[in-house]
Amino acid sequence: MSEIVLNVNGVDLVEFFGENNVKLNLLRKAFPEVKIVARGSQIKLLGEKKYVQRLKDTLELMIKVLKEFGELSTDTLKDLLRGNNPFETHISKKSNGNVIVYGRGGKPIKARTKNQKILIDSSENNDIVFAIGPAGTGKTYTAVALAVRALKNKIVKKIIMTRPAVEAGENLGFLPGDLKDKVDPYLRPLYDALDDMLPAEKIEHFIATRVIEIAPLAFMRGRTLDNAFVIMDEAQNCTSTQLKMFLTRLGPSAKCIITGDLSQIDLPRRVTSGLKHSLDILGNLEGIGLVRLQPEDVVRHRLVREIIIAYNNDKKKRENIEKENKESKEEKPLPK
């Protein structure tokens, strides 16, 4: 029989034990061999030595997570109990549970679908990856998570995220403020993804020190993007010239993910999407990967998947009608 007394110092006890001791009860369920007595900030563990030591290690890791991230969700605790350590996030194809990185509060961010996992593997095996798919399939979110992991693991020195400043089918007119105020609305989805993965103060520090750059595509011209994880979002709204300009910015140590949805092109009519052109001419180059996400990969509201499928079916129906009308006109004999 072994006994260990552990003092929980420097963290919020409510956050540590959970409301109504929900996290403490999870620990008791995970370690039935150990008697846990909690009084204030002191925890007494009684039981066989190997189980007591294992529980002590888990409790110390919980304290470390709370001090590092400021919060500890029940999902994160469950992940810890399964053996995942948020401070061991090195890239590995054999990583436990498909965890990409641990975000705010130690939240595990992982591949949630088969094609998201393929995207992760493709990024590990290629310097440039095209991630193509409909809205809600986690293209941007997964790309940002991979970039944050690469930065945390010191594989890259900075993250650069960009997208074309194209309005989605409406004219916003004059936007007030300085240049940053004018372009930030177009870049908001990238900020939103970052907010899930890093504390606000750390994001502000990284942006101030240019460790993280979020800028419109026009700001990329003339630069060499090296020692960086580069994300091009909404690439379907790039012209061929713009996408060629972007791709030729990459330095020898850069990693890049290009995301796009070919069903949501907001370019003016008669302007061909540069993403379509790039896929046609670059798809077979060694070192460039292509991942196509499907409606089945949608991780937003359950109806989003059904909405996408309905629009796809309607598009196919219209294309078939147009094809039949065209064929009937061609077959119709000319008047004598």
Q: What CATH number does the domain located at 2-81 have? A: 3.30.1370.10
SS3 142: helix
Checking if the pLDDT of 281 tops 50, the result is yes
More confident residue, 180 or 193: 193
Which residue type is seen at 76?
Answer: T
**CB contact at 8 A, 129 and 260:** no
Residue 144 — pLDDT band, cuts 50, 70, 90? Answer: very high
Question: Could you check whether 2-81 and 112-238+249-267+285-313 share the same CATH topology?
Answer: no
Break the chain into its structural domains and give their ranges: 2-81, 112-238+249-267+285-313
Q: Are 169 and 252 in contact (CB under 8 A)?
A: no
Which pLDDT belongs to residue 91?
37
Q: Which of 140-149, 184-193, 296-305 has the highest mean pLDDT?
A: 140-149
Q: List for the chain the helix, strand, coil content (%; round to 5).
A: 50, 15, 35
pLDDT score recorded for residue 247:
94
**Of 31, 263, 46, nearest to 137 (Cα)?**
263
Of 79, 101, 116, 61, residue with least CA distance to 196: 101
158-176 pLDDT, tens per residue?
999 998 876 444 444 455 5
Contact (Cβ atoms closer than 8 angstroms) between residue 198 and residue 211: no
β-bridge mates for residue 259, sequence order: 131
Query: Which of helix, strand or coil describes residue 46?
Result: strand
Q: Is pLDDT of 327 > 90?
A: no
Average pLDDT over residues 80-100: 59
pTM: predicted TM-score of the whole model, two decimal places: 0.66
Whole-number average pLDDT of the chain: 84
Q: Tokens standing for 48?
A: 């066989």
Task: Name the percent of the chain lying above pLDDT 90.
Answer: 40
Which H helix or E strand runs over 288?
A: strand 288-292
Helices marked H in 44-134 — which ranges? Answer: 49-69, 74-81, 114-125
pLDDT at residue number 303? 80
Q: Which of 51-65, 182-196, 257-271 has the lowest mean pLDDT?
A: 182-196
Mean pLDDT for the stretch of residues 174-183: 55
- Radius of gyration (Cα) for the chain, nearest Å? 25
How many Cα atoms occupy the beta-carbon half-sphere of 244 within 13 Å?
A: 6
CATH architecture type of domain 112-238+249-267+285-313: 3-Layer(aba) Sandwich (3.40)
Residue 289, amino acid? G
Give CA–CA dist 244/54, Å, rounded. Answer: 54
Containing 301, the helix (H) or strand (E) segment is none
Are 90 and 153 in contact by the 8 Å Cβ rule? The answer is yes
- Which pLDDT band, with edges at 50, 70 and 90, does 330 fall under? low
Mean pLDDT for 55-73 is 84
Per-residue pLDDT, averaged over 8-27, amounts to 88
| pLDDT score recorded for residue 236 | 92
Determine the 3-state secondary structure of 162 from DSSP. Answer: strand
